[in-house]
Amino acid sequence: MESATVIRALGALAQEHRLAVFRLLVQAGPDGMAAGALAEALGVPASSMSFHLAQLAHAGLVAQRRVSRSIIYSADYGAMNRLIAYLMANCCGGTACLPELDCLSVAGDDRSVA
């Protein structure tokens, strides 16, 4: 993964509403959500939601598809996994993690994240 791609993705996620949108789309799974439903769920005006979704799409973190008259957005799990893999590539100096530093169990535990 190129550093410019990583910077674009992290920059897109470094904003409160876009991070919340991305997390909602991850929860929604492959079915995704319409922009209006995302805006309503987060209490964000539709015009602002369009801007945030465009930023996430430009960063390659969300995919969009047309269903009838709606555009459905979904998290791009491949892009997300590539980003996480890039960030974790040198975990523990490139050696196997020690049990108390198990990166996967720490990364999977988001109870402390609001």
Contacts 24+ apart (CB under 8 A), 19-24: 21/49, 21/52, 21/53, 21/56, 21/62, 22/56, 22/61, 22/62, 22/75
DSSP three-state, residue 68: coil
Tens place of pLDDT per residue across the chain (114 aa): 899 999 999 999 999 999 999 999 999 999 999 999 999 999 999 999 999 999 999 999 999 999 999 999 999 999 999 999 898 887 777 676 666 555 555 455 554 444
**What's this model's pTM, rounded to 2 decimal places?**
0.79
Q: What angle do CA 11, 84, 110 make, to 5 degrees?
A: 90
Q: How is the chain split into domains, by residue range?
A: 3-108
Asked if the 3-108 domain carries CATH number 3.40.1440.10, the reply is no
